[in-house]
Amino acid sequence: MKENQIIKSYEIARERYAELGIDTDKALETLQKVQLSLHCWQTDDVQGFESAGELTGGIQVNGNYPGKARNIDEVRADLVKVCSLLGGSHRVNLHEIYGEFGGKKVDRNEVEPAHFQGWIDWAKENGLKLDFNSTSFSHPLSGSLTLSNPDKAVRDFWIEHTQRCRTIANEMGRQLDDSCIFNLWVHDGQKEMTVNRMLYRSIMKESLDTIYKVEHKHMKDCLESKVFGIGLEAFTVGSNDFYTAYCAQNNKIVTLDTGHFHPTEVVGDKVSSILLFCPEIMLHVSRPMRWDSDHVTLMDESTLELCMEITRCGALDRVHIGLDYFDGSINRIGAYVIGARATQKSVLRGLLEPVATLSELELTNRNFQKLALMEEAKAMPFGDVWNMFCLRNNIPAGHDFIKEIERYEAETTSKRQ
């Protein structure tokens, strides 16, 4: 896009938004500070570097598009490419299986901060922060129950793993001088009708209590619920009720993965409820299609509703925005950038909403006026403000990033066999 066109269109957009009482420059400044937590696992279909084993734990990546990252250097190069097409400064969200194990077998109950020192150094060099996840899946002891397993030996193995991961997260946060968000998601569940629900959940609660006994200064804990996994359809130990109650009681952060709810549930509606009882929210923004399919995030109605709810609540400082989808059927870097930019655009839409006016209309029962204004807001020149965000960040505006991805594919990813 031409720079003078972007500038001219922005001038008009700024005036139009000002008529609604919105300061577009302020919105852009705020967006600049919103960090996304980029899920490293989109680069290589959740494979990691621990083993070449299959992906288990009820999650599935579909597609075989050429060019997935085959080693840590390629994952890093891809992430740097993604960041070069995004405005603002961001975070990388790592899983334990992405450690630098130097070709040695390091089991999950042996992992140490040293295995992530390379990542920490790399993050520092690239002006990135890190978030972290323990990995319950793709391991011989994954089975269908990990932290909730009645077998003490199996359970203790996973407790040890999770404790070590929290120590690693703390080290990341300490060295990068920014709290590392440590997410706990385990696939624990049952394929068939389950009679021992109370047993598994009470074991799970005990395991969590044990894990969280140690306090760390440079990391924050969040817990992610789910409805079901593939092959684990009948029962999920870590359901939404389980973790919401646990987080409220233990002052932990709730992770909302937008793919982990019943199809007609509105995830945006959960923000205000949770924030009244829990300190913060972590998001895994995804796009479930008929199931937790992890399609590439778009600026669709549910992403908009979620982001606009955050801005309406004035809660950008209490909500951490991470992405979580894995599409192996299209250019993986392209998939990343589409989803990341869609999320930023959705936040911007929230920042450009005339919330004060809408709120006043609602409180004074002028409901026709409220609805009309909300409807008209959709036709405001939001894209011109978005393009100015790109210009100010010196990144491609509009669809110009497509050719950047094509170039990276021609020069780099297409050469990976």
Residue in 76, 164, 284, 370 binding ligand RNT, rule: CB under 6 A: 284
Cβ-based burial of 33 (10 A; exposed 0-12, middle 13-18, buried ≥19): exposed
385 lines the binding site for ligand RNT (CB under 6 A): no
Q: Is 325 or 386 the residue whose CB approaches ligand RNT more closely?
A: 325
Amino acid 299 reads: M
Answer yes or no: 156 catalytic: no
CA separation (Å) from 223 to 109, 180, 280?
A: 20, 14, 11
**Could you tell me whether strands 287-289 and 291-295 are parallel, antiparallel, or unpaired per DSSP bridges?**
antiparallel
CA dihedral for 118, 405, 347, 25, sign (positive or negative): positive
Burial label for 273, CB within 10 Å (0-12, 13-18, 19+), is: exposed
Q: What distance in Å separates the CA atoms of residue 83 and residue 75, rounded to the nearest whole number?
A: 12
Q: What length is written for the chain?
A: 417
Could you tell me the smallest distance in angstroms from the CB atom of residue 33 to Zn ion? 24
The option from ligand RNT, Zn ion, none interacting with 59 (CB < 5 to 8 A, set by class) reads ligand RNT
Q: What is the residue whose two structure tokens read 């092959």?
A: 231
How far separated are the first and last CA of the chain, in Å rounded?
34
Coil, strand or helix at 320: strand
74 catalytic residue (yes or no): no
Output the smallest distance, CB 93 to ligand RNT, in A.
Answer: 9
- Among the options 324, 327, 353, 384, which is catalytic? 324
Q: Is 257 in the site for ligand RNT (CB under 6 A)?
A: yes
Quick check: is 185 catalytic? yes
Largest separation between any pair of C-alpha atoms in the chain = 67
**Residue from 115, 185, 187, 320 carrying the catalytic annotation:** 185
78 has catalytic annotation? no
Interface residue with ligand RNT, options 14, 31, 36, 41 (CB under 6 A): 41
Considering the candidates 95, 161, 205, 284, report the single residue annotated as catalytic: 284
400 is catalytic: no
Which partner from the list ligand RNT, Zn ion, none does 42 bind, CB cut-off 5 to 8 Å by kind? none
> CB under 5 to 8 A by kind: which of ligand RNT, Zn ion, none does 226 bind?
ligand RNT
Query: Per-residue x/- mask for ligand RNT, residues 285 to 324, rule CB under 6 A?
Result: -------x-------------------------------x
150-159: burial string, b at 16+ Cβ within 10 Å, e else: eeeebbebbb
Using the rule CB under 6 A, is 390 a contact of ligand RNT?
A: no
Does 59 help bind ligand RNT (rule: CB under 6 A)? yes
Helix (H, G, I), strand (E, B) or coil at 51: coil
Residue 120 or 256 having the CB closest to Zn ion: 256
Which partner in ligand RNT, Zn ion, none is near 133 (CB below 5 to 8 A by kind)? ligand RNT
Hey, which residues are catalytic here?
Answer: 185, 224, 226, 257, 260, 284, 292, 294, 324
**Contact residues for ligand RNT, defined by CB under 6 A:** 41, 46, 59, 95, 133, 185, 224, 226, 257, 284, 292, 324
